[in-house]
Every structure is written in C-alpha cells, then in structure tokens.
Structure 1
C-alpha cells in the first residue's frame, strides 16, 4: 500500500471515529452518566471524601479479609472414599487403603484374583 493510500485510509478511520464520538455525545443515557459522575465528584469534594471512602460506606464487607485456604474445606463433587481393610487369610497381613492402587493389594489381586481379594475385606 502506498503512503498516500495509507494516509487516506487513516483519514477515513478518523472521520468515522469522530462521527461515532458525536453520536455518543448526543446519547441521553451517556449525558445522564456524565451528569451523575460530576455530581458525585462535587459531593465527594464537599464532604472531603475520596472514592475508597465512598466505596467503604456503600459496601463495608468489600475489603474484609477472606477466609484462609487452610480453614476452608475443599469443595468436592464426589463423596470421600471409605477406608477398606483387607486381611490375608493365610498370612494375617492387613492392608488399609482408600483406593485400589496399593502395591501389596495389586500383588494379591494378580496372585489370587480380584474376586478372592475382595472377599478379604473386613
């Protein structure tokens, strides 16, 4: 693109943005927001308040410290697994686990079969 074409394109974008700005200036809701902002700043100056002070008056709980993550309980969508105790009938060895990914339990299941090992649950 030549420099002249680039200049004309930018000039057209500027015209479009200026038209959009003029349209916004004539918008009634924008005028009300600007009026509100001006009155709010005047009121804050009259009572010697800053924006943080006004926010603290309107929402006192906004800047309260949150609960520490140590105290908050984790939100879980599923229930906690129960502890299972497996007792080997021959050796009397006991394995306690909440899941099936236990080294000894896997060894027993491969040696005796999953049904037999599940029957050892106490």
Structure 2
C-alpha cells in the first residue's frame, strides 16, 4: 500500500473515531458514570480507603473468588506399597511398587496375569 493510501485510510479511521467520541460525549449515561466515579474517588480519599478495601468491606468473599487467596495445597498421593512376587518354577523374586516391571511383564505374558498375581507374597 502506498504512503498516500495508508495516510488516507488512517485519516478516515481517525474521523470515524472522533465522531464516535462526540457521540459518547453527549451520552447521558456516560456523564452519570463519570460523575459517580469522581464522587467515589473523592469519598475514598476523604476516608483514606482503597478500592480493594471497600470491596472487602462490602463483599468479604470477593477475595476468595478472585484468586487472590493462596492456592490450596495439593493432596499428595499415598505411597505405593512394595509387592514381592516369587516365581515357584525358578525361585526368582521381584520387588516392585508398580506393574511396569520388565521381568514381571514377561512372567505375566508367559504364565498369565492371574497365575503371576497368585505368586504375590503376603
């Protein structure tokens, strides 16, 4: 895009925004909101309070909803128990906390999962 075309496009957008600004200046609702904000800020200054303090006075539960409260402590998982499997054919033993043990998987594929679980020492 040429510089002239870019300039005219920006000029057009500026004119649109200025027109929208003039419409807002004449809006009764905006004038009321501006007046309210000014009076509220003066009142806050008069009593030496911040907006956060006023919110906490009016709605004490607001702090917990906003996430400003400290994050809850994550629950930790129970530690896994050590399981001891003893192969009656070879006398070999395996100690594991989970089922992702290489030798245990081989036994389960060779002898079947139910059979290997019966080898669990209690």
| Normalised-by-shorter TM-score class | 0.5 to 0.7
Q: Structure 1 residues 101 and 46, CA, compared in 2 at 3 Å: closer, same or farther?
A: same
Instruction: Please report how far the alpha carbon of residue 18 of structure 1 lies from its aligned counterpart in structure 2 after TM superposition.
Output: 0.9
CA RMSD of aligned residues (A): 3.6
Partners of 2:86 and 2:52 in 1: how far apart? Answer: 67
Counterpart of 1:100 in structure 2 is: 99
Instruction: Please report how far the alpha carbon of residue 13 of structure 1 lies from its aligned counterpart in structure 2 after TM superposition.
Output: 0.5
CA contact (8 A) 1:95 1:105 kept: no
Question: How many equivalent pairs are there?
Answer: 115
Counterpart of 1:6 in structure 2 is: 6
Query: Among 66, 72, 97, which residue is 2:70 paired with?
Result: 66
CA contact (8 A) 1:87 1:120 kept: yes
- Which structure dedicates a bigger proportion of its chain to helix? 2
CA contact (8 A) 2:84 2:95 kept: yes
TM-score (norm 1): 0.62
Q: Does 1:114 align with 2:113?
A: yes
Q: Structure 1 residues 27 and 105, CA, compared in 2 at 3 Å: closer, same or farther?
A: farther
TM-score (norm 2): 0.62
